[in-house]
Chains A and B, each alone.
Chain A
Amino acid sequence: DAKTTQPNSMESNEEEPVHLPCNHSTISGTDYIHWYRQLPSQGPEYVIHGLTSNVNNRMASLAIAEDRKSSTLILHRATLRDAAVYYCILSVFMEYGNKLVFGAGTILRVKS
C-alpha cells in the first residue's frame, strides 16, 4: 500500500518558519499528496494538497520534489496554535472516491 515516512517529532520556536519533511518513494502517478493536521481530541483538519507543482494557501505552502518522491510542508510563521500532529498522506484513487493512507505523523511542538 502507498506509504509515507515522516520524522516522529520536530520542535520550532514561535514566529519562525517550520519545514516538515515527508518521503513517499512508492508514490504512483495518480496519487495526490495531502497534508492534514490533528489537534488533541479533534479530528484531522485539511491543510493543503498537490500533485506535481508547489502549492500555496492561507495556511501553508507545499513544496513537491521534481521526482515526487518527497515533499515538504512549510508553515511560514509558527504559532502556538500550530502545535499538532501533522500527517503527510497519499490520496490513493479507488474506483470511486479516494482513500487517505495515513502514517504515524510528525508531532510538532512550538515553543514560545
Chain B
Amino acid sequence: NAGVTQTPKFRVLKTGQSMTLLCAQDMNHEYMYWYRQDPGMGLRLIHYSVGEGTTAKGEVPDGYNVSRLKKQNFLLGLESAAPSQTSVYFCASQNQGPISNQPQHFGDGTRLSIL
C-alpha cells in the first residue's frame, strides 16, 4: 500500500519557470491538501480539495493553482516561479468523516529550489 506519493522528490527551477507537482493517493480519500514548509517552521496550508472537481484556498494560496480532475490525484501548479516559493511541499489526504476528527496522511514531500 503506497499511501500518498509525491512526484518529483526534488526540483530546481529558474525564476519565471512553471511546473506542476503531482500528488497521488491510493486510499480512496475524499479530501486532499497541499502544504508548504519553510526552514524551522511548521506547515502552512496552500490549497485543499474536498472531492473530485472541487478546490478551495488555504492560508497561503497566492502564486499557486491546483486541480483535482481525478479523485486520486491533486496537482499543484506554479505558473511563474519566484525565489520566495523555495520550500518543501507536502501533500496530504484524509478520509471524509466526523468534523475535525480524521487524521491526515502525508507524502514525503517535494523539495523545490527556485534560483
Residue pair B99, A45 in contact (C-beta under 8 Å):
no
- Contact of B79 with A by CB under 8 A: no
Residue pair A99, B40 in contact (C-beta under 8 Å):
no
Residue pair A44, B100 in contact (C-beta under 8 Å):
no
On B, residues with C-beta under 8 Å from A are 4, 31, 33, 40-45, 48, 50, 56, 58-59, 90, 92, 94, 99-109
The distance in angstroms between the C-alpha atoms of A78 and B84, with both chains bound, is 38
Q: Write out the residue numbers on chain B whose beta carbons fall within 8 Å of the beta carbon of A93.
A: 99-100
Given contacts A43-B109, A97-B94, contact A104 B42 (CB under 8 A): yes
Residue pair B45, A100 in contact (C-beta under 8 Å):
yes
Within 8 Å by CB of A46, from B40, B41, B101, B104, lies B104
Counting chain B CB atoms within 10 Å of each CB, the highest count among A31, A34, A42, A96 belongs to A96
The distance in angstroms between the C-alpha atoms of A98 and B56, with both chains bound, is 12
The distance in angstroms between the C-alpha atoms of A45 and B44, with both chains bound, is 16
The distance in angstroms between the C-alpha atoms of A104 and B39, with both chains bound, is 10
CB distance from A23 to the nearest CB of B (A): 15
Q: Write out the residue numbers on chain A whose beta carbons fall within 8 Å of the beta carbon of B41.
A: 102, 104
Q: Write out the residue numbers on chain A whose beta carbons fall within 8 Å of the beta carbon of B90.
A: 43-44
Residue pair B100, A102 in contact (C-beta under 8 Å):
no
CB distance from A93 to the nearest CB of B (A): 5
- Contact of A49 with B by CB under 8 A: yes
- The chain A residue sitting closest to B104, CB to CB, is A100
